Structure 1
């Protein structure tokens, strides 16, 4: 599938803002939402987290439902037609992940639609691949648009690592940033959504290339295979080939780096293996600097960052490559180019 699509609206609910403009402004300013949580590490020190400030103290799936509904509502406010028979592709945590805040994906879809007063479109789907879910959703979105029957698709994601079970699991496995572990991530939560339309139907960002792959040497793999970045390199190659450009023609990249060394090594290896010839400085942005690990919300948030940067003229270049990976090796990359208003 090589059909292009345009991103025409975004919505966000993050620890640094309850809508896309405020979140993107805070991310641009390098503000963060980190604060002490109610959870302690093995040394008795409070763990840092990046929680969203909600009007009520909802927990679990109800909290995810309201966060996701708020992000999608922002899109519907910008483009009211999005309420009418628009399929939703919802990006969720991995089904097997300990402490997932979403226990019933079907109920999540129904409840979000009920809050938004929208009918549940039968073409709506849930995609439970964690951080790269948004890239899988983009592939499905352009397939839905190419098949006809809809002029728009909503791609949205929601996730949280701030549950007791998740904190306990990742702390026990030395994955969280703590006083005795500098090689860890800060647990966060967020929701974000983007509205995809047929190419040529709006300004903003256009998807030009998409690549999906799998890394055999995933983080802490049982076989202890050495990391060479094969998976992400393959994803880069597919996206670059589809876009018809070389690595040195990228303007900048946005990555779902969450703080652990593994992910920095992976993205560095993919870049080093593909860049050829002279090129300008390629900046590397990451929402993790301000939000920590936001799981399945990462790709919609990163697209929102690129969308705002293109609209307001502070993008670090054009086009932009957005990448994401998850713990079991699934990874992907997408290339977007800004379109004039």
Structure 2
């Protein structure tokens, strides 16, 4: 099969701290609604940690066929979140046969080993009642940029198969005592007195991606997605190497190349309020300035819903796609995400 240049977003499902679906989340972000709240978690200096949490009433009971005893509390939350997002997509889509799921999941950090169970997709299938093509499904345990790496795998999958559909899902939750404790040891969690912390959040977003061959049969498709750029930053947070910004700059360059150098008027990033990523953002924009229109907008919705971890990339993609659909802009939107470790990713979206 020839090289696949574009895929199309046909449906989205979402649950975030600011909305139970894509429409609610988009409206809250556009209104600038912030849901950071003091939580029950106390840091080492006896201050309450500020989190952005999905309301408790949004979490459903786990299916009785799922072995909940073998799962951590964090994974149970993620399974409930993912099931909500996936179910929203399947309210709009009824495939004739199971399609593969490409799952973006959390990454481990020093002091906290995080890896979703190899049975997560099987459990998600039981929880939702949706049958997935498990033989071709993949889990990418690499944090914020994992969704963009998973998307690159979807492009490869579409190129090397006759499949016309794939499901991209990103899910994460920081609502876990041991994870928050590990972050607190690094003085990273926002409190009423901190100046360089972030608000841990949680979310899940599901995106149905379709091939050009079925675009005409999908009148509700909302945006075109170019092949992402994926790269590695040697000087990441947990590396001994200096932060040079090469990884994000290369990822953005790759995304722009994949879009045939369309001009960009808006950027959606995984910036979460910490200063660590400022340098690489500056380097990436400077090196790719020829592709940016004057006065481009930089949106960082973590100001509203906190840091979404591995759910970041699909969530930003869905927000950007819906905005493109509403604005009918001739320019592209750029989404980029930087993981805690080396992975960096970026993607361009534009109108169909």
Q: Same fold (TM over 0.5)?
A: yes
Match of 1:308 in 2: 322
Question: Deviation above 3 Å: which 4+ runs of structure 1?
Answer: 56-59, 95-103, 276-279
Partners of 1:3 and 1:314 lie apart in 2 by 21
Q: What do residues 136-156 of structure 1 show as CA deviations (whole Å, max 9, x unaligned)?
A: 111111222222342210000
Partners of 1:158 and 1:117 lie apart in 2 by 18
Partners of 1:110 and 1:210 lie apart in 2 by 27
Do residues 211 (structure 1) and 229 (structure 2) align? yes
Over aligned residues, Cα RMSD in angstroms? Answer: 2.2
Per the TM alignment, residue 57 of structure 1 is displaced from its structure 2 partner at its CA by 8.3
Partners of 2:107 and 2:234 lie apart in 1 by 18
Superposition pairs for residues 94-113 of structure 1, below 5 Å? 94-95=107-108, 98-99=111-112, 103-104=116-117, 106-113=118-125
Mark the CA change 1:65 to 1:213 in structure 2 (over 3 Å): closer, same or farther: same
Mean Cα deviation higher: 42-51 or 57-66 = 57-66
Mark the CA change 1:15 to 1:277 in structure 2 (over 3 Å): closer, same or farther: closer
Partners of 1:47 and 1:314 lie apart in 2 by 40
CA contact (8 A) 2:266 2:298 kept: yes
| Residue of 9, 21, 24 corresponding to 1:22 | 24
Q: Any stretches of 5+ residues in structure 1 without a counterpart?
A: none
Per the TM alignment, residue 190 of structure 1 is displaced from its structure 2 partner at its CA by 0.6
Match of 2:148 in 1: 135
Aligned pair count reads 332
Per the TM alignment, residue 101 of structure 1 is displaced from its structure 2 partner at its CA by 6.5
Report the 3-state secondary structure (helix = DSSP H, G, I; strand = E; otherwise coil) of the residue aligned with 1:311.
helix
Q: What do residues 261-308 of structure 1 show as CA deviations (whole Å, max 9, x unaligned)?
A: 122332122101221398321101122111111100001100110122
| Residue of 232, 246, 250 corresponding to 2:248 | 232
Mark the CA change 1:72 to 1:278 in structure 2 (over 3 Å): closer, same or farther: closer
Match of 1:76 in 2: 90
CA contact (8 A) 1:199 1:206 kept: no
| Residue of 269, 279, 304 corresponding to 1:265 | 279
Mean Cα deviation higher: 28-37 or 305-314 = 305-314
Taking structure 2 as the reference length, what is the TM-score of the superposition? Answer: 0.88
Partners of 2:230 and 2:116 lie apart in 1 by 26
Partners of 2:328 and 2:132 lie apart in 1 by 37
Report the 3-state secondary structure (helix = DSSP H, G, I; strand = E; otherwise coil) of the residue aligned with 1:131.
helix
CA contact (8 A) 2:106 2:116 kept: no
CA contact (8 A) 1:43 1:179 kept: no
CA contact (8 A) 2:43 2:181 kept: no
Per the TM alignment, residue 41 of structure 1 is displaced from its structure 2 partner at its CA by 2.5
Match of 1:326 in 2: 339
Q: What do residues 22-60 of structure 1 show as CA deviations (whole Å, max 9, x unaligned)?
A: 111111111122111111223322111011113358742
Mark the CA change 1:311 to 1:216 in structure 2 (over 3 Å): closer, same or farther: same
Do residues 286 (structure 1) and 300 (structure 2) align? yes
Mark the CA change 1:123 to 1:98 in structure 2 (over 3 Å): closer, same or farther: farther
CA contact (8 A) 1:187 1:294 kept: yes
Report the 3-state secondary structure (helix = DSSP H, G, I; strand = E; otherwise coil) of the residue aligned with 1:281.
strand
Taking structure 1 as the reference length, what is the TM-score of the superposition? Answer: 0.90
Partners of 2:78 and 2:235 lie apart in 1 by 32
Per the TM alignment, residue 99 of structure 1 is displaced from its structure 2 partner at its CA by 4.5
CA contact (8 A) 1:252 1:320 kept: yes
Superposition pairs for residues 56-205 of structure 1, below 5 Å? 56=59, 59-81=73-95, 84-95=97-108, 98-99=111-112, 103-104=116-117, 106-121=118-133, 122-199=135-212, 201=215, 202=218, 203-205=221-223
CA contact (8 A) 2:328 2:351 kept: no
Partners of 1:180 and 1:222 lie apart in 2 by 29
Partners of 2:164 and 2:110 lie apart in 1 by 34
